[in-house]
Amino acid sequence: MTARFPDDTPLTEAVLGAARELSERDALPAYVYDLGHLDAHLAAIRAACPEIEVLHAIKANPEPALLAVIARHVDGLEVASGGELAHVRSHLPDMPLAFGGPGKTDAELAAALGADVRRYHVESLHELRRLDALARARGRVAPVLLRVNLPAAPASGTALTMGGLPSPFGMDPTEADTAAGELSGLSGVRFLGIHAHLASGLDSADCAAVAETILGWANRYARRHKLEMLEVNVGGGMAVDYRYPGQVFDWADYGRRMANLTRAHAPLTVRIEPGRAVSAYSGWYATRVLDLKRSHGEWFAVCAGGTHHLRTPAAKGHDQPFAVLPSSQWANSWPRQTVTKEAVTLVGQLCTPKDVLARSVPVPHLSVGDVVLFAMSGAYAYNISHHGFLMHPTPTVVFVPSS
Ligand SMILES: *Cc1c(COP(=O)(O)O)cnc(C)c1O
C-alpha cells in the first residue's frame, strides 16, 4: 500500500499505474502528468468563473501536452519571453496571446508584432516608448495594458501588504501618470487598460480583495486621465499550499466574489492569469530510493535525480509532499536497508547539501528501491531549473585565449 506525506496528498489510480510501469521499466526518475485530472480541474475553474476571462501564464509549465489541454478551457495564454512566444506559436498557432514580462528586447517585441499578439503588458515607460516606435515602423498599432505596482491589502486584515514595494515589475503609479500623459502622442500603441500582478499564495477572499483594489485604482486612473478603459487584468497568484495538498484554492468562492466585482464594474472586461494553481496538482515527480543511511543520528534517503529536476522545494524552501510506493523490484541477496517509524530527509544525487526535496519527514516505512512520488510537481518544477526558466536563450560562452 502507498503511504502519503502529508496524509491528504492526493494520488490517482492513473498516476499510480504509470509509476508502477515506469518502475518496472527502470525508467525513473520521471515526470508523470495526469491530463484527465488537469482537464477536470480546468473545467471546474471555468465553471466557477463564468463572468471573467481567464488567461494562463505559461511560465508555470510550458509542456505542450499540458498547454493543449489548458488551451481548451482558457481565453488565451500569457507569454513572458520571445522563447515562450515562439514555443506557443509552434504548438498552438491560433491561440490568443498576451505578452508580459520584464526586459522585453526590441527583437522580442518585433517578433510579437509579427505574431499577432493581442495584448502587450507594458512594464515601464521606456518599454512603452520602444513598443510605440517599433509598431509605428511596421505600420502597426499595439494594444497595451499598463502594468502597475500598487499597494493592496488582502481582506484577512493581516499586516501584510502586497505590491507597492520596490520591485522590477511594472510601473509606479506616478510613472503610469506620466505614461497617460504621453499616450495621445504615441500612435503606435492603443490603451486598452491596466494590468497588475501583485502577490502570490492568496486565498480566495484575499485574492478577490486584491482584485477589488486594482479595479478601483484603474477606474480612478482612467477617469483622471480621460482614458477609455476596456479591460483590467488582475493577475494570478491563487494559493497553492504545499503543506496541505488537499486544500485546493476555493475557485467557487473566488468566482462568486469576482462575479460581484465584475457586475459592479460592467461593462469592463475583467481578466485573471493564474499559473501555479492551474497545473501544480496534475504533475508528479516519480523517483526511486537509491540508498538509505543514518548520518550522525539523522536518516537520509538518497533518491535518483534531485532538485535539478524538481527545483520547487529548493526555490520555495518547503518539504515537497510525497507518496511512497513500496517496491521489491530492487531486492538484492542481502537484506534491504529499511527505516520504520523514523524521520527521514529525502535528498537527490547532487553533491551539494542544498539538494533537499523534503526534510525530516516522519515515515512509517521506507526501503531502498521504493518508489517515491513527489506530488504538486506540475508547476514551477522541472521547467524552473534555471537555464530553462521562461525559455530565454542560453548565454554565449567564449574563451579568451591565453597569451
Ligand atoms: C508569474 C505570473 C503570473 C502567474 O502567477 P501564479 O502565482 O503562478 O498564479 C501571472 N502574471 C504575471 C505577470 C506573472 O509574472
Query: Are residue 233 and residue 381 in the same domain, yes or no?
Result: no
Query: Are residue 366 and residue 224 in the same domain, yes or no?
Result: no
Query: Are residue 212 and residue 300 in the same domain, yes or no?
Result: no
pLDDT digits (tens, 9 = 90+) for 269-306: 999 999 999 999 999 999 999 999 999 999 999 999 99
Query: Are residue 242 and residue 329 in the same domain, yes or no?
Result: no
pLDDT of residue 34 exceeding 70: yes
Q: What angle do CA 266, 268, 272 make, to 5 degrees?
A: 115
- Which residue's CA is minimally distant from atom 10 of ligand 1? 236
pLDDT digits (tens, 9 = 90+) for 217-246: 999 999 999 999 999 999 999 999 999 999
pLDDT, averaged across the chain: 95
Q: How far apart are CA 329 and CA 343, in angstroms?
A: 24
Rounded to an integer, the average pLDDT of 316-335 is 91
pLDDT of residue 156 exceeding 80: no
**Number of folded domains that form the chain:** 2
State in Å: Cα 366 to ligand 1 middle: 37
Specify whether the CB–CB gap between 56 and 77 falls below 8 A.
yes
Q: Which of 272, 302, 323 is the last residue of a domain?
A: 272
Q: Answer yes or no: is 73 within a domain.
A: no
- Cell numbers for 367: 526501503
- Which residue's CA is minimally distant from atom 15 of ligand 1? 101
- Cell numbers for 214: 486594482
Query: Are residue 200 and residue 133 in the same domain, yes or no?
Result: yes
pLDDT digits (tens, 9 = 90+) for 350-393: 999 999 999 999 999 999 999 999 999 999 999 998 777 888 88
Q: Answer yes or no: is 49 within a domain.
A: no
pLDDT of residue 160 exceeding 70: no
Q: Answer yes or no: is 395 within a domain.
A: yes
Query: Are residue 111 and residue 197 in the same domain, yes or no?
Result: yes
Query: Are residue 378 and residue 324 in the same domain, yes or no?
Result: yes
pLDDT of residue 398 exceeding 90: no
Q: Answer yes or no: is 354 within a domain.
A: yes
Q: Which of 243, 272, 301 is the last residue of a domain?
A: 272
In which band, very low, low, confident or very high, does the pLDDT at 161 lie, cut at 50, 70 and 90?
A: low
pLDDT of residue 157 exceeding 60: no
Query: Are residue 315 and residue 188 in the same domain, yes or no?
Result: no
- Which residue's CA is minimally distant from atom 3 of ligand 1? 236
Rounded to an integer, the average pLDDT of 62-66 is 97
Higher pLDDT, 157 or 310: 310
Query: Are residue 231 and residue 296 in the same domain, yes or no?
Result: no
pLDDT of residue 158 exceeding 80: no
Query: Are residue 158 and residue 238 in the same domain, yes or no?
Result: yes
Q: Answer yes or no: is 294 within a domain.
A: yes
Q: Answer yes or no: is 75 within a domain.
A: no
Q: Which of 218, 244, 272 is the last residue of a domain?
A: 272
Q: How far apart are CA 282 and CA 180, in angstroms?
A: 42
Indicate if 49 belongs to the active site: no
Start-end of H helices in 197-239: 204-224
Report the CATH number that the domain containing residue 227 is assigned in CATH: 3.20.20.10
State in Å: Cα 58 to ligand 1 middle: 9
| Domain interval for residue 382 | 13-33+282-400
User: What lines the ligand 1 site, CB under 6 Å?
Assistant: 57, 59-60, 100, 197, 200, 235-238, 273-277
Start-end of H helices in 267-341: 276-279, 312-316
Rounded to an integer, the average pLDDT of 307-334 is 92
pLDDT digits (tens, 9 = 90+) for 208-222: 999 999 999 999 999
Q: Count other C-beta atoms under 10 Å from residue 349's C-beta.
A: 17
State in Å: Cα 275 to ligand 1 middle: 6
Catalytic residue among 49, 207, 303, 351: 351
Q: Answer yes or no: is 327 within a domain.
A: yes
Percent above pLDDT 90 for the chain: 88
pLDDT digits (tens, 9 = 90+) for 96-138: 999 999 999 999 999 999 999 999 999 999 999 999 999 999 9
Report the CATH number that the domain containing residue 18 is assigned in CATH: 2.40.37.10
